[in-house]
Amino acid sequence: MKLPVRLRKPSRATVRTMAMDQLYYLVGCVCYAAAVNLFALPNQIAQSGVSGVAIIVHYLLNTPIGVTNLVLNIPLVVLAWVFLGWRFVSKTLWVTVELSLFLDLEALLLPASFLHTEDRLLVALFCGTLAGFGLAMIMARGASSGGTDIIGWLVRRRWPHISLGRVILAADAAVVIGAAVVFRDLNSAMYACIVMFISTRLIDAILYGMGNGKMFYIFCEQPQQLAAVIIAQLGRGVTVLPAKGAFTGREKEILLCVVRKGEATRLRRLVKSHDPRSFLIIAEAQEILGYGFQDLGS
């Protein structure tokens, strides 16, 4: 006779992580739903993704946007569960349900004509900002709002050579064009492009931009001495990389140092004062995590 399996009590770290996930999801869903109900819907500006399809269906049949969004996502979630696994789906399913709930809840609390305005450009700017912030909060904790993200991953599984970004962009473009046809308003598609541009830029800024810095590859005659100067005056770590010149065959050492953008000018001056004949390669560091920079997070 098999003994019943005892469930392990989750650790404090696990509970803290789950609570932080939910906080991010809550803020993200509230903001994205507000972008739809306050800005996109009253001014007939198409949203991308499945929520955009839900707006089109709402416009044609007057169905609740949240319920429609959930119904449209169910087949995609099932396919993702089968082909991509439950780990990919679990968080996305939870966020999809939560987002659908807030889409309808806020629609009841916020009058449809609350922010109807003739200045649709201003509406598109605010809509893109609010939607981008909401999606960034969701993505920051490893989830997505479903829809075209799932389509992109499913297509990538079948045709790995196709870019994920291109698939999502193509799906979003099809939704926006469809909305322009339904609304009989070409301007709607143009404003939707503004919304998409702002939201994607804001997502990148929030997810990757906060840790932006500069990465220096330094070629000089006395790398060890320069490394000591950088550590002493900037307080930044330096990695010494062995190298060999292809033309001269000479063994040398390259210094690798990552700094914040505000420290880049100072580092350049240090290198120049140490060895005016130094050779520098300066690259963008998209995201810097760890000691001395942004926390690694959970």
Q: Tens of pLDDT along 189-225?
A: 888 888 888 887 887 777 665 556 788 999 988 889 9
Percent of the chain with pLDDT over 90: 12
268-284 mean pLDDT: 88
Rounded to an integer, what distance in angstroms lies between the CA atom of residue 277 and that of residue 221?
9
Rounded to an integer, what distance in angstroms lies between the CA atom of residue 52 and that of residue 60?
13
pLDDT at 155: 77
Percent of the chain with pLDDT over 70: 84
Mean pLDDT of the chain: 81
- What type of residue is 135? L
| Span of 5-9, 10-14, 75-79, 201-205 with lowest mean pLDDT | 5-9
267-272 mean pLDDT: 88
Rounded to an integer, what distance in angstroms lies between the CA atom of residue 161 and that of residue 291?
36
More confident residue, 101 or 175: 101
* Chain-centre distance for alpha carbon 163: 17
Rounded to an integer, what distance in angstroms lies between the CA atom of residue 152 and that of residue 162?
9
Spatial CA neighbour of 104 closest among 29, 182, 28, 26:
29
Spatial CA neighbour of 76 closest among 40, 59, 51:
51
- The full set of domain ranges for the chain reads 12-207, 211-285
pLDDT tens, position by position, 28-40:
999 999 998 888 8
pLDDT at 295: 63
Rounded to an integer, what distance in angstroms lies between the CA atom of residue 70 and that of residue 103?
10
Contact 67, 105 (CB under 8 A): no
Three-state DSSP at 213 gives: strand
Rounded to an integer, what distance in angstroms lies between the CA atom of residue 96 and that of residue 121?
28
pLDDT tens, position by position, 118-174:
788 888 899 999 988 998 888 777 777 777 777 777 776 777 666 655 777 788 888
pLDDT category of residue 101 using cuts at 50, 70 and 90: very high
pLDDT at 111: 64
What are the E-state strand segments in 210-250?
A: 213-219, 239-244
Q: Say what the pTM is.
A: 0.69
Length of the chain as a residue count: 298
The CATH class for the domain spanning 211-285 reads alpha beta
88-104 mean pLDDT: 86
224-246 mean pLDDT: 88
pLDDT at 130: 92
Contacts of 118 (CB under 8 A, 6+ apart): none
What are the E-state strand segments in 83-164?
A: none
Contact 2, 26 (CB under 8 A): no
**For the chain, how far is it from start to end, CA to CA, in angstroms?**
40
pLDDT at 40: 86
